[in-house]
Chain A
Amino acid sequence: MQREPEVCKLIDTTTCIGCKACEVACVEWNDMPFQPTMFDNTYQTMPDTNWNYWNLIKFNEDQHSDGSFAWLMRKHQCMHCADPGCLRACPADGAIVQYANGIVDFQQENCIGCQFCVSGCPFNIPKFNPSTKKVYKCTLCSDRVGAGLEPACIKSCPTGCLHFGTKDDMKFLAENRAAQLRDVSGFANAGVYDPETIGGTHVIYVLHDLTKPERYGDLPAKPRIPLSFTLWKQFLKPIGLFGAMLGFVGVVLHYIFEGPRVEQPAPPVKRIDPPPPPAEKGN
């Protein structure tokens, strides 16, 4: 029996040079139009990802305790969570799917445009296109992965800070790199970002400092799916629906056991004795 391995993208933020080759490769492979850039006094291409721009390097200037600065560059895209908030929130049948290899993909033909996934995602990834009324995001190049190729961003990376493989292999590679950063390079808090609060992700980061991932541009330390889409939707919603239907059960039982309330005076009903049983006939 063949095992379906879970795939994983490893992003080593310590070797990212912010060249944006991955941004270009993503736009190219997914055949999306050129996006005008927005200058905000940093190297960042634009403030956020968009429905047709799924991959963005977030540039964050970080001040050290000794007063010196460093760039923290993080390739921002869908994290392909093991427990995806978008999928939890989605009310449409088959609009968001999670493949056996871990990729979370949007099927736009089933999308109804409610944007609940936007609310459910802890990473603010799904982006709405107002003209098609559909939501889009990184597919982890599931079309390429299905054909045995690595995602486009991986292929374009010139420094080798991006890796792609099975989750186990990438985790091993990432932990080794984090250990190297801690032991050799002097980053005492270096570690691997693979948040357990959402069951791990299929995109993992090696960070210089795992203790404060927020400094990498809104990377939550403990990403959480809103309780509306876990406790309420998965658990209490069916119970609530059942509870509301008890109203129907209640009125049916009332009709059976109590009967209707009729206008007074109720019409007098003459008692009719049942006819005597017919005499038995012989064969």
Chain B
Amino acid sequence: MGRTVVYEGELLRHPVYTRFLHWMAGIFFFLALLSGFAIYLPWIFRFFTPLFGGGAMTRLLHPWFGLGFVVFFALQAANWSNPMRWTPSDTRWMGHIRGYISHQDAMEPADVGFFNAGQKMQFWEIVAGCIAFVITGFIMWFPEIFGRALVAISYVIHDIAALIMLFGIFFHIYLSTFGEPHTIQAMTRGTVSEAWAWTHHPAWYKEVTGRDPYQAMGEARQRQERGL
């Protein structure tokens, strides 16, 4: 079901199943975020609850939105369990994160594979956040079973997990759009240009094309300078 068209000079990045899971998780994430925001503090209650048909409806829907997010993200986690595995090169990458932020090198280090360490960090943060959401969420969903003390503790943990995820989503959106142009194409059409691949994920480029990413970039530069 569904297909991905790969044009000349492009590489397949995310197949349809991955993209489907990504956007379903994304939709449910924002529904859960906004409905959760609505009941986060009384002074933002009146701005967000009308989106969902009032306070009581917001309260009713929020757990289901959250469940939808967690289910689709869990499927994505299973889908990505292999490329998200942490490696020694990721630890090295984290050591040089300041250089990444300040664009010290135009291209990523040669050992950056399908995902870089920053992406993996965010992925595992969301895994941890989802576990926290599910446990504390069920406690608050059925307080008559779990009791008042557990609800009071869960309330804080749920909030902290949400705040961390909210903090992270800005980086996720920024780096996939304005921060690293043409990245969003990987999640819309499923493909990326070869130049994108050797710039941001050199080891992955080498893996799928068998060519050296730096050499490929150098050749591209020569072609460009010759005006071809």
Contacts and interface: CB of A to CB of B under 8 A. Distances in A.
Interface of A: 90-93, 95, 110-116, 118-121, 124, 128, 133, 226-229, 232-233, 237-238, 240-241, 243-248, 250-251, 254-255, 258-268
B79 to A, nearest CB: 26
Contacts of A92: 39, 42, 45, 55
Contact of B56 (A112, A116, A226): A112
Interface residues of B, number: 57
A240 B168 contact: no
B178 A248 contact: no
Interface of B is mostly: helix
Interface in B30-44: 39-43
Contacts of B92: none
A261 B171 contact: no
12 contacts: A90-B42, A112-B56, A118-B148, A119-B143, A124-B148, A128-B144, A232-B159, A233-B155, A241-B163, A250-B171, A251-B178, A258-B101
B139 to A, nearest CB: 10
Interface string B138-180: 0010011000110111011001100110111111011100111
A243 B163 contact: yes
Nearest to A267: B224
Contacts, number: 146
Interface stretch (B17-25, B65-73, B81-89, B191-199): B191-199
B41 A112 contact: no
B98 to A, nearest CB: 11
A112 B58 contact: yes
A265 B39 contact: no
B195 A247 contact: no
B156 A255 contact: no
A114 B195 CA distance: 51
A91 B196 CA distance: 46
A247 B159 contact: no
**Which among B45, B101, B196 has the highest number of chain A CB atoms within 10 Å?**
B45
Nearest to A268: B224
Contact of B152 (A229, A250, A260, A263): A229
Contacts of B59: 112-114
A260 B179 contact: yes
Contacts of B45: 91-93
Nearest to B174: A251
A211 to B, nearest CB: 25
Contacts of A266: 106
B3 interface: no
A95 B178 CA distance: 42
A255 B159 contact: no
Nearest to B62: A114
Contacts of B8: none
Contact of A251 (B148, B151, B166, B179): B179
Contact of B167 (A226, A233, A244, A255): A244
B40 A265 contact: no
Contacts of B96: none
Interface string B1-12: 000000000000
Contacts of B151: 115-116, 118-119
A90 B39 CA distance: 9
B41 A263 contact: no
B130 to A, nearest CB: 17
B104 to A, nearest CB: 10
A198 to B, nearest CB: 15
B16 interface: no
B211 interface: no
Given A118-B143, A238-B41, A250 B225 contact: no
Contact of A228 (B103, B152, B181, B199): B152
B58, B60, B152, B164 pick with most chain A CB within 10 angstroms: B152
A149 B127 CA distance: 58
A269 to B, nearest CB: 12
Nearest to B220: A265
Contacts of A238: 41
Nearest to B107: A264
Given A238-B41, A258-B102, A133 B56 contact: yes
B156 A232 contact: yes
Interface in B106-124: 106-107
A259 B178 CA distance: 9
